[in-house]
Amino acid sequence: MTTEAACAELVSRLKRIHVLGTVNGLLGWDEQVNLPPDSADLRAEQLALMAEVQHAAASDPRIGELLAVLEGRRAELSPDQQVVLQHARRDYDRVVKLPAEFVREKARHSSQAFHAWADCKARSDFPGYAPYLQKHLELARQEAAYLGFAAAPYDYLIDRHDPGMTAAVIERLFAELKVSLVPLMREIVASPVKARLDIFRGFPVEKQRAFLRAVTERLGFNYRRGRIDVSLHPFCEGSGADIRMTTRFDENNPLNSLFSSIHETGHGLYEQGTRLEHQGTALGQAVGMGVHESQSRLWENQVARSRAFWRFFEPRFRKTFPRQLRAIAPDEFYLAVNAVQPTLIRVDADEVTYNLHIILRFELEKRLLAGTLAVADLPAAWNALAQELLGLTPPNDREGVLQDVHWSGGMFGYFPSYCLGNMMAAQLWYKVQGDLPGLEDDFARGDFSRLLGWLRRNIHEQGRRHDTQELVKVVTGEPLTPRHLLRYLRERYGALYLGN
């Protein structure tokens, strides 16, 4: 077999796995957007069948043979082919090192644990949920051991979401962030300046929908290769040629659906910017969760909460909702766009306090996986950290340790990505402003194309060529650091709340 033929066959198999994954994704999207209430059982069967077919394709021994052939001829491969080969090996090893019975058991337990979590959350019953969490921790350690990470299970779980990242690196970054962020948050909370969100009342959903479509289209989202619908929790699903985003509407909270749509648009723009001809291989895939989140946060926060952005959009927003906005002054409006208010609930948090919610979860996950925190002691540890970081103690476990869905699916190591993404977004933000002078003047004219072009070249089109930390270094010239996020928060929120 020639090297070219082996490469071509490997790529065609990777594309097949990718296409199967997109079918799976579409079924999942449909489940959350369209599924009739009594059709859930069939959908569960369809999803399980697709997962089985996909797993069979991904673990086909023929892929192992092709990888071995190509690894023996590495010198003949182009740099791009080497990138594809390296990631195909990594993905293949992860699929075949996990016994099928283990994968089935984990899926079964995740489904049971999800339902147990939903019930226990409704009753605020942590002891009822604890055995499910305990079992998930055991499965996570077992999975790490299969993959050769028995001594450092949390590193494995982090690496699954952010390739190359480790608990030690995150610990250092978060410690540096926390030491300045906690006092900044306290200063802002103590400020006499208060944002008001209760002044937004009676924004018809149809008009909100039209407005956010116009905004996201102008940011660069291509609606010929994607769409936006409504679901309980907003998300973005799909890759390259077909992106499905969702949002939710509240007549009395129009900024919420707008910003969540812009957030999902950031994810969608990343996927739409990956190279279509390379879909399915590492050259046409996103790096990981942290980089993904850097894209959604950059559009949502640095761009869409800026004065320049609203210089263009505020007149249009007022024209769409003249009656609802009549009594709201421009300063009041801009303050509401940048409201800061510590809350117990992560998904309701503003961008200043959000990172503290993540630091809390990282700290607890790390101790759980290391075995230095027992599941039974988790609620008390959660509440103590919430008090220390946010100045708030949950009145019950529903608003504390039971609030998030992630752990019920065994998704440890996922939370840090949100905060890493925030750091990355700020670091990219200062870099792109240096590279493209006058960027905010573009925004004030409603032109986001130079920013999108820069992100396309530097991030989206790079695929998985670099891991999370390398990418940040290659693009910005320095390692990932929280300094830029702290500078950005101080500049934006200092000006609004502290008169800086």
Catalytic residues: 264
CB of 129 to Zn ion, least distance (A): 25
Tell whether the torsion through CA atoms of 459, 463, 469 and 473 is positive or negative. negative
Smallest distance from Zn ion to CB 267, Å = 6
Shortest Cβ distance from residue 279 to Zn ion (Å)?
Answer: 21
Residue closer to Zn ion by CB (options 296, 302) is 296
Query: Residue 296 or residue 301: which is nearer to Zn ion going by CB?
Result: 296
CA diameter of the chain:
74
Residue whose CB is less far from Zn ion, 246 or 296: 296
209's tokens: 């929908």
- Please, what is the minimum distance in Å from the beta carbon of residue 62 to Zn ion? 36
Smallest separation (angstroms) from Zn ion to the CB of 247: 12
Closest approach, Cβ 293 to Zn ion, in A, equals: 5
CA 257 centroid distance within chain: 17
**What minimum distance in Å lies between the beta carbon of 127 and Zn ion?**
32
Helix axes 167-190, 416-435, angle to 10 degrees: 80
Distance in Å, CB of 236 to Zn ion, minimum: 7
Question: 288 vs 379, which CB is nearer to Zn ion?
Answer: 288
Q: What is the dihedral of CA 91, 93, 97, 102, to 10 degrees?
A: 10
Q: 1 or 345, CB closer to Zn ion?
A: 345
Q: Is the four-CA dihedral 438, 439, 445, 449 of positive or negative sign?
A: positive
Site for Zn ion, rule CB under 5 A = 296
CB-wise, 8 or 345, nearer to Zn ion? 345
Query: What distance in Å separates the CA atoms of residue 342 and residue 50, rounded to the nearest whole number?
Result: 42
- Alpha carbon distance 42, 331 (integer Å): 52
Closest-CB residue for Zn ion? 296
**Are 479 and 473 within 8 A, CB to CB?**
yes
CA distance 460 to 455: 6
Nearest distance, CB of residue 468 and Zn ion, angstroms: 15
